[in-house]
Amino acid sequence: MEQYIIRGGQPLAGEVVINGAKNAALGIVAAAVMTDEPVIIENLPDVWDINVLLDAIEDAGAVVERTDRHTVCIKGTLNTCLIDNENMRRMRGSYYLLGALLGRKKQAYVPLPGGCNIGSRPIEQHIKGFSALGAQVEISHGMINATAESLHGSHIYFDLVSVGATINVMLGAVLAEGQTIIENCAREPHIVDVANFLNSMGANIKGAGTDVIRIKGVESLHGSNYSIIPDQIEAGTFMLAAAATRGDVVIKNVIPKHLEAISAKLIEIGIDVEEEDDMVRVNAQNRPGYTQVKTQAYPGFPTDMQPQMTTLLSLGTGTSIVTETIFENRFKYVDELRKMGADIKVEGNSAVIRGVEGLTGATISTPDLRAGAALVIAGLVAEGTTVVEGVEYIERGYEQFEVKLRGLGARIEKTQINTERKVVKKKKQATTKAK
């Protein structure tokens, strides 16, 4: 177990380069096994979730060659459709192998997905889509088993907007016979990226990024050389870290269009945001103001930025309200912010945030990936030292998080929890003996 030790109060300044989008990379790595031909993926983030998925496809027979930290060559020479890598139960993106294996091999046997504990996160929309394409899907012993004699195009109408179901059913449909129309689709940038990647492999997908996606099944997919889009949420996280610390940070390798909802909210609360082709600059000289935020599917304010926004608004000059409309249990981190002096009351799916002048350092624990990033932001701002436990959650989705923050002037170190606690205990024993 590892922890971050943060000495707060230092405004962030300088430049940071954003990595490839984790939530696009998960779908793209899964899609890569839909051909035996070499697929070269560039701008791949070096984070736990992606590395586990690469291990899982290698265990299933794929050839995975990492040519550098952010580039991999995959050949989908699979010898099984059974994915039983233990770590796969702990992450969400594993279930994309369901769509990829079913789409290519007409069978898939994949662990039920894990992922951040932010709600019940059922997968009935995925199953609805696969069934409409002609598959039989069963869940037993913690595994999902999907098989089909053949897959045929269908007209699918999702009951709710789901990023995962949109990507998964797209994977299942690209090699099906005939046309598939999927309605009420999610429109996130990472869905467009997965669709563009599949089209680079010879698929025929139109409409990704809108709420209706049309897919004409093709006979087979071929190799490709593809670079993943920048991570919208990593970029947003650094934007809010700059704002919270009253810093001046240039965030490079971004697509400003993907950040519009975040930039608009920052500007609304008095933070300077400048955009150029592939960078944004956040320059915050004063306390943030206050506002209302409601998380929505893209292009609305992203739910994956909700904890970071709540943390920023906890320092606001007035009372703000943040409403979470996507997940039913995504405010667990608020108790940790309260330990640092934040004045936040969670009522149903809203947090009422009365801004305070400042926060104070404390030992806090990370309930999930994005909440972990938000608690680090709180530590960067807080007076004194903050210990953030549960770093492994954060490293699931942020590459070299503390290294990048140190590059912006943050006083943050990563240490092992056990050594730290032993040292503290020894010091305490020594002082009690001395008395």
Binding site for ligand EPZ (CB under 6 A): 23, 26, 92-93, 116, 119-126, 160, 162-165, 186, 303-304, 326-327, 369-370, 397
Question: CA 357 to CA 363: how far, in whole Å?
Answer: 20
Least distance between ligand EPZ and beta carbon 298 (Å): 7
Helix ranges (H only) for 9-117 are: 22-32, 48-59, 96-105
Least distance between ligand EPZ and beta carbon 317 (Å): 29
Least distance between ligand EPZ and beta carbon 50 (Å): 10
Closer CB to ligand EPZ, 53 or 203, in the complex: 53
Determine contact, residues 302/236, Cβ cutoff 8 Å.
Answer: yes
Concerning whether 116 is annotated as a catalytic residue, the answer is yes
Contacts of 159 (CB under 8 A, 6+ apart): 125, 128, 184
Least distance between ligand EPZ and beta carbon 91 (Å): 8
Closer CB to ligand EPZ, 133 or 362, in the complex: 133
Closer CB to ligand EPZ, 223 or 368, in the complex: 368
* Distance from the Cα of residue 405 to its chain's centroid: 18
Q: Which long-range contacts (CB under 8 A, 24 or more apart) does 335-338 make?
A: 336/362, 336/364, 336/365, 336/367, 336/371, 336/375, 336/378, 337/310, 337/311, 337/364, 337/374, 337/375, 337/378
In the complex, residue closest to ligand EPZ by CB: 164
How many CA atoms are closer than 13 Å to the CA of 348, on its beta-carbon side?
4
Least distance between ligand EPZ and beta carbon 12 (Å): 22
Closer CB to ligand EPZ, 74 or 118, in the complex: 118
Closer CB to ligand EPZ, 5 or 186, in the complex: 186
Q: Which of 73, 81, 116, 185 is catalytic?
A: 116
Closer CB to ligand EPZ, 52 or 412, in the complex: 52
Residue with tokens 């999702």: 158
Q: Which has the closest alpha carbon to 366: 43, 116, 65, 165? A: 116
β-pair partners for 251: 16, 280
Least distance between ligand EPZ and beta carbon 401 (Å): 13
Going by the DSSP 8-state scheme, the letter that residue 40 receives in this structure is: E
Instruction: Give the residue numbers annotated as catalytic, written as ranges.
Output: 116
